[in-house]
Structure 1
Amino acid sequence: MTVSATPALVVPPRKLFLSLQLRLMLALSLSFLVLFVVLFAVLLKVLEGQQLSQAQSDLRHVLQKAVSQANGDDLAGLYGLGNELVSEYWKDPSYLKSFAGLRDISDTDPRAFPFAYVQQDGQFKLVASAAGHAAALPDAPATALAAGLNPATEGAFVTPSPLNQDGYFLIGTLPIKNAAGEVICAMGMRFAIDYVYNAYLQVRAHALQVMVGLYLALLVLFSWISRHFSRPVAVLASEVQAIREGEYQRNFAHLRRGPFSDEVGTLTEVFEDLLARVSRREQTLVREVQALKIEIDQNKRERQVAEVVETEGFVRLREKARAMRERRNNPV
């Protein structure tokens, strides 16, 4: 007869223990951290957008004011043959009348630097500015400068200027036309918006401090919440561990406190039912073992008696006793 081998008990590898409280705290804190970061980025973007929108509105207003001071019909006389500017055009009374107020605009609003320009031989040339006619043409995208000289341009063309050593700027351009609607030159406006980004950086720094403080406060709150909700599970695990070590007389009543029931309460009821069944089964097994022990002891005594009765000495003694009884009952 072939005896099958009992399969060896496979012990699963021991995993790294990570408490439910810690996992709850990490999940809550990371979720709120992601939410804070998203809200923080959105709020900063909205703030930046509002500031830029206000700056663009201010630029258009100042640019319209500068264009309103220029007379296209008077400025048309500054062009010579082939659209070349006449010599010493900056001394012409019409030039002074149209562009003398550019410095006042810049003095009134330090963010604004107005300038007028034309295009000759494919090159943009400055003809007036708040710093005078000899100043350099401000660094501006070619698309913005071209839009200012385009008759089809409706309203002011506004675009960010590339960042340079002077800071952040918006560039706005608007055509200056004569009575016939012909573009004579263009008015440009370089509008400083460093304050927008400075405000953005300040708000970001302060908001970051507030967010860190709030996150630490919430971390304490999340720690309390996670401990409060994970404590019944931890207590239940401790009770089950005690049962595993053979302590079946456990009381689960403290896990069912409160006006409401939950998954822990249901799990507690299941463990109590299982524990009651195991306890009853254990008691039944104890009684069966005791009865079996009594039966084994009785069989052992009977077997020992039978072994004594069946020995040769006991047989001779039994024969002698029988002979003695016969002589006593039948005397000669």
Structure 2
Amino acid sequence: MSAFEHTLRPVLFRVGGGDAEAAHEFTLRRLAGLGPRALAVLRRRYATAAPVEAFGVRFPNPVGLAAGMDKNGVALPAWPALGFGFVEVGTVTAHAQPGNDRPRLFRLRDSEAVINRMGFNNAGAAALAERLAGAGPLGVPLGISLGKSKVTPLADAVQDYLASYQLLRPYADYIAVNVSSPNTPGLRTLQDKSSLSALLSALVGKVPVLVKIAPDLTEPAIAELLEVCLAAGAAGVIATNTTLARDGLSDADRPRATEAGGLSGRPLTERARKVVHFVHTETGGRLPIIGVGGILDPDDAARMFDAGASLVQLYTGFIYRGPALVKAVARAADRHEARAGR
């Protein structure tokens, strides 16, 4: 057990009387307030070099912060200092929105899982663009995850995504198109062939565009989606988002499993790996993959890389294991690359 798990995690899990979102907000405030000296100390402890290139972008290591952790980019300097080789902010929408009613974030501790139904709560694309304009160089690649505003009808989704894209493209090393969150009504229908084709036709262009997919799609549906991605010139795939399934939970967590929302963490480990493997096999490696879902130790990451992922992202694993996991996964990735002779 790491020092984080032994000392800091119990404290964070008690913040706000055990409210997971209160702990999240508390952590972001503390990270946003770190000064240059504290950031330098963190960099010396956690930064790990394991360079890799994917979709034309050079990454200092292949371990990224998944979207959802820092939606509005309020703690940007902290993430590279904690060892992340890239950062994905968002999901952001064209219109600022409060998201779903609280409580909307729940820990399932025995299962090392989280359920969220946040609903794309964010300050909007214009506010994020303003923050990024004043932020200065991040030092690692920045991805920006785009979603559809809840107030926008599905028929107008393309223009909604495009409005965010136009504001944020100048600051992005890649754009992630989130059409797979289970927490915005109707959003997952944008994974359908005609809807996704129209969306990618509008967005693919000056920066790499990746599509984030749901783990709940059947293999034929994924195959059809991949055909669209290849035809439209998408740069890659992020696999996967959270799941609506409730498999793999401990008996102690089953009462909490009735909460609506997407499940992440350990119960998603194997399904996410299988989706990554299917995407890699189906495309013959033509679409680089960011593997995300249930990575809680270096072995999980190694299996993601073996399945075909070029990069990985952490979210729930970071909540439960802390920054030591980032460093451990980056080192595992470096060993994987050495064994592969790359």
TM-score range normalised by the length of the shorter chain: under 0.3
Work out which of the two has the higher radius of gyration on C-alpha atoms and give 1 or 2. Answer: 1
- TM (normalized to structure 1)? 0.21
- Normalising by structure 2, we get a TM-score of 0.21
